[in-house]
Amino acid sequence: MKTTIILFLAINTAIAGVIDNALKQVELQLSFLVENTDEARAQSTSPKQIMPRSLKSDGSIKMVNQDDWCSGFYPGTLWQMYRITKADRWRREAASTTVAVTISAL
């Protein structure tokens, strides 16, 4: 029984470390998008391309139209980050990008 408890605690500690590392990576990637999306919008060939979707091979941000099926992923990811961290930074970004997609879709 004692061995099982120790093993369980070791596994829990390892899983917590993996989750923490993954969360740090998500935070780094979202921070990059938050810091660079306005510039990507300005460089876009279409004013309808308002949401980041992915990175191009050159490292620049691929933007999508507000009616693209991926356009809600970015605001949704920001909302999830806020839910997990409770950091006001993510709430503000999530709210502003949600409004941008919603208004643009009208």
What are the pLDDT digits (tens) for 41-56?
999 888 889 999 999 9
How far out from the chain centre does Cα 85 lie? 12
Residue 80 to residue 54: CA distance in whole angstroms:
18
**CA distances (Å), 100 to each of 7, 66, 67, 76, 80, in order?**
48, 8, 12, 13, 18
CB 79 within 8 A of CB 94: yes
Least confident of 11-20, 60-69, 92-101: 11-20
- Domains in the chain, number: 1
Q: Provide the residue range defining the domain that includes 47.
A: 2-105
β-strand partners of 45 = none
DSSP summary character for residue 57: T
CB 40 within 8 A of CB 52: yes
Residue listed under structure tokens 């935070």:
27
101 compared with 52, residue with greater pLDDT: 52
